[in-house]
Chains A and B, each alone.
Chain A
Amino acid sequence: METVNIELLKQLYAVMFKIRKFEEELYSLFLTGQMFGTIHQCDGQEAIASGVCANLKKEDYIISTHRGHGHCIAKGISLNKLAAELFGKSTGCCKGMGGSMHIADISVGIMGTTAIVGAGLPITVGLGLSIKTRKTSQVAVCFFGEGASNEGAFHESLNMASIWKLPVIFICENNLYGFSTPVSKVMNIKDVAQRAKSYGMDEIVVDGNDVVAVYDTVKKYIDFVRSGKGPVLIECKTYRHKGHSRFEPANYRTIEEVEEWKKKDPVKCFKNILKENYHQKEEDIKVLEENINAEIKSAIEYAKNSPGPVAEESLKYAYAN
C-alpha cells in the first residue's frame, strides 16, 4: 500500500473479523444441533475475501463456491439475509431455497455460489462476456480452490476469457488440500498460477494470508481488467483451519502443520500489525469488534425468529414466468 490509508486498513480488518466470528458462531450453532444441512467454513482464508472485495464496487460481480460465506460477507451481503438463508428461512437471500452452498444476492453483485468444483469459472466467463457486450465498466470475479484447477472447466474458462479479453479476475484460493488430498499429490507443478501462463496471462502468486498483499495485488491489476485488456489469475496461498465440512476433523494433516499455519492466522496477525505498525489502540479495535459481534448476534436472532417457507413453496421456483 503506497500511501497508508488507516480507514481502509481498519475496514480490511473489520471484514476479516466479521467473517471469522460469523463462521465461529455457525460452528457452535452446528455443534449444538441448531442448524441443519452442512457447512464449509473458511476460517483461515479471510484475507483473500477481504482483500479482493475491498477493490470491488457494488455493481461488480462475484461467483463463489460451497465455501463462500466469507466472499459474500466481504461483497456486502446483509448478515440478516445470509443468516436467514443458512437457517432455511423465507427472509433468506434465496428464500430458504439455496442454503449454505447456494448463496446469491444480486443487489450487491453476488451472482451465485455453486457447489460443483470448477463450475463457477465458466459462469464467470459469461458474466465477463455480458459486461463486454453491454459495454459497462464492471468486472467479474471468480473465487475457486486449487482443486478446481484440475477440472476441464478451469482450462476451458481461462482460455475463453483470455481469447476474448474478458474483464474477469480468477482468484484461486490454494488452501493446499482438496477435501483430504494434498495438492502435491494431484498437481505436478508448484503453483496453480503457472497454468495461467499457458493461456497468455501473467503468473501471479500472493501470500493469501496477508490481506494487504492481496488487496494491493488486485488493485494493481484491476484497472487493466476493467479496461478490457484481458483477464488475470491471482493465486493466493492459504490454509483452512477447520476440516472440509461441518465436523470433519481433518486428521489427514499433522498437528504441527496446522499449528504452523495458525501462527500465520490472517486475522490475528493483521490485528497485531494494526496495533504495532499503525498504532491502533486495543480499545478502539475492541469497539469495532464488539459492534461486529452485536451485528452477528442480531443476525442469528433475526434468522431464528424468521418465518420459514411453507412446504408448497417448494414448487414455486422450478421455472420462471
Chain B
Amino acid sequence: MQTNTYNTMAEALRQALREEMKRDERVILLGEDIGKFGGAYSITKGLLDEFGENRVLDTPISEIAIIGAALGSAISGLRPVVEIQYCDFLTCCMDQIVNQAAKTHLMFGGQMNVPMVIRAPLGVSGSRAAQHSQSLESWFAHIPGLKVVVPSNPYDAKGLLKSAIRDNNPVMFFEHKLLYGSKAPGDVGIQKKSEQSSVMESATDEDYTISLGKASIKKEGSDLTIIATMIMVHRCMDIANEFEKKGINIEIIDPRTIVPLDKNAILNSVKKTGRVLIVTEEYPRCNFASELVAIIVDEAFDYLDAPVKRINIMDTPIPFAPVCEKFVLPNKKRIVNAIEQLLQ
C-alpha cells in the first residue's frame, strides 16, 4: 500500500477530518464557507464532494447558532466539528461555549456528553490588524469543562485533532494561521511567511492519535527550559540552535495541549535546568504563561536559579502597520534578550 505524507498543517488537518469522517458517520462539519469553497484557509477543501452536504454544512454567518447547532447535535448522537473562521469571532458565541457547552456535563449530572470540536485559526499573520490577529486560547483554558489544544506541526495536528474528535468533551482546537502552509525542512515551496524548523514534522496516513495532555520535548537541554506553543515553538527552536553553537543547551517543551496540561513534563524540565522562559503569542495579562509561572513557583520553587520569565505579545490591541506588528510580537530580539538575562 502506498503511504502518503502530509507536509503542511493544512493537509494534515484535512486528512484528520477525512479519516475521522470515514471512520465514524456521526462526525459532521459545520462552518462558514467550509463547503464548496473549502473554508477561509482551505482546510475542508474537497470534503463536501467526498462526504456530501448532509455532513459538510455551510452555515449562515451566525456564530451563536453554529455553536448551538453543534452542541444540540452533540448531546443527541452526533460528533460535530465546527470551524469558526477566526478565533477573534469566538467572542460572538461565548455564551454557547462557556455557559452552555462547557457546563452541560456537570449541570445535568453527567447525563449527557458533549463530543464536539471547535476549530479556530488564531495568531498574527501579516497585517490582518486588531480583529483578525489575536490569540485567545487562554480565555477558554480558564473555563472548566473545556479542553484546549494548541498544535505546532503537521504530525501533532493530525494526531491531536483525531483525539479531539474522539473525545467526549467540548474541545477548543486552535490553529496558528502561519503554520497552515509550513512544511518540514527539505520540502520545496516553503511559503515566505511560514516558519520552518527541524521540528516541523510531517503527518502520515497511519491511523495514529496523540493523547490530549501529553507534552512533547522538542529539544533536550540542560541549561534553560523554554516552554513555547504553536508558532513560538519554531521561533524558539531556531534561537536555541544558535545558542547551541555557543555551547548553551536549551530544552524546548511544547505542551501541545493547555487543558489537560502535562505538568510533569514541565516540572521535570524545570527541576533539571532551574531556569525557565515561557514564550506564547497571547496577550500578557492572566494568560497561559502566567498560569505556568504559578505552577512552577508553587511546585518547583526550590529548583529555580532565576526568576521565571515570560515573553508574550505586548499589552496592546494588535496594530496594522508591519513595523508595529513586528514590534509587539514575541520577536527574536525579545526572546534572545530574555534568555541572556536568565543565563546571567
The interface of chain A, by Cβ under 8 A from chain B, is 61, 63, 92-98, 102, 104-106, 111-112, 114, 116, 119, 121-131, 133-134, 140, 152-153, 156-157, 159-160, 163-164, 316-321
Contacts and interface: CB of A to CB of B under 8 A. Distances in A.
B95 interface: yes
Contact of A317 (B57, B67, B106): B106
Interface of B: 28, 54-55, 57, 59-60, 62, 64-65, 67-78, 80, 95-96, 99-100, 104-114, 144-145, 147, 168-169
A121 B168 contact: no
Nearest to B68: A122
Contacts of A94: 107-109, 111
Count chain A CB atoms within 10 A of each CB in B62, B96, B107, B110 and give the residue with the most: B107
Contact of B69 (A96, A97, A160): A160
A317 B112 contact: no
B106 A318 contact: yes
Contacts of A105: 111
Contacts of B112: 104, 106, 111-112
Given A122-B71, A125-B72, 6 more contacts: A95-B110, A104-B109, A111-B75, A122-B69, A126-B72, A130-B78
The 8 A-B pairs at the shortest CB distance, nearest first, are namely: A126-B72, A122-B68, A95-B109, A94-B109, A156-B65, A156-B62, A104-B108, A130-B73
A43 B307 CA distance: 61
Contacts of A157: 64-65, 68
A165 B77 CA distance: 19
A106 B107 CA distance: 13
Contact of A318 (B65, B69, B105): B105
Contacts of A63: 72
B311 to A, nearest CB: 31
A121 B68 CA distance: 8
B108 A102 contact: yes
A14 B79 CA distance: 39
Given A122-B65, A125-B65, A125-B69, A112 B76 contact: no
18 contacts: A61-B76, A63-B72, A93-B109, A94-B109, A116-B99, A123-B96, A125-B65, A126-B68, A126-B73, A127-B72, A130-B78, A153-B68, A156-B65, A157-B65, A157-B68, A164-B57, A316-B110, A318-B106
